[in-house]
Amino acid sequence: MKVAIIDYGSGNLRSAAKAFERAAREAHLAADILVTSEPEALRAADRIVLPGVGAFGDCAAGLRAIPGMEDALNEEVRAKAKPFFGICVGMQLMAERGLEHGVHEGLGWLKGEVVKIEPADRSLKIPHMGWNELEMLRPHPLLEAMPATHAYFVHSYAFAVAEPDALVARVDYAGPIAAMVARDNMAGTQFHPEKSQELGLALIGNFLKWKP
């Protein structure tokens, strides 16, 4: 199995790659984990991962700055239906647009916008950072047999999902925030599985075995 983790200048690539390698070992799966900025590598991969750290607009621009990368993503994920996993801003990029420091176009794979977190309780700090318990809204293969329910978040903007059936899990931070989205062969988490210890490794292992 070949797993392509996209390097476009935004993401904890080393920690993400190590988490995928460890999850593959623990699941007894033979997996070649490749961090790459080459669109051709996506075409050779069996599964595709899009990490992301920072501002939505910067991440969108960085992705589009790689010639052919957006086209390869759309071809391999949307047309060929390869399993796809987005992490943090990588998940947010699945949205139609992001409203962080202006309006920035996303990949448009799921309807909705990425908006600033505005907690009703003004004493809550932004960014939303730390461990929170997930509220599972519907079953999904990536969440099967979870050994824990807490995940690690760090973000100031959140995906306001316009399609309720695409929302898999949420977290409460003085109001509901999308924690996981999924549709067909695509899934993404606002939290960082590579930092979420047991839950994160189990989720990654499920992704490596997922046959959507």
Q: Is 192 a catalytic residue?
A: yes
C-alpha 158/C-alpha 70 separation (Å) is 22
Which residues are bridge partners to 35 per DSSP? 5
Task: Report whether the peptide linkage leading into residue 119 is cis, meaning its omega lies within 30 degrees of zero.
Answer: no
Indicate if the alpha-carbon torsion angle 65, 66, 68, 74 is positive or negative: negative
Catalytic residue among 104, 128, 155, 192: 192
Residue recorded with tokens 């189990």: 202
Q: Is 59 a catalytic residue?
A: no
Catalytic residue among 59, 76, 88, 113: 88
- Over its C-alpha atoms, the chain yields an Rg (Å, rounded) of 16
The pair phi, psi for residue 164, each rounded to 5°, is -55, -35
Catalytic residues: 88, 192, 194
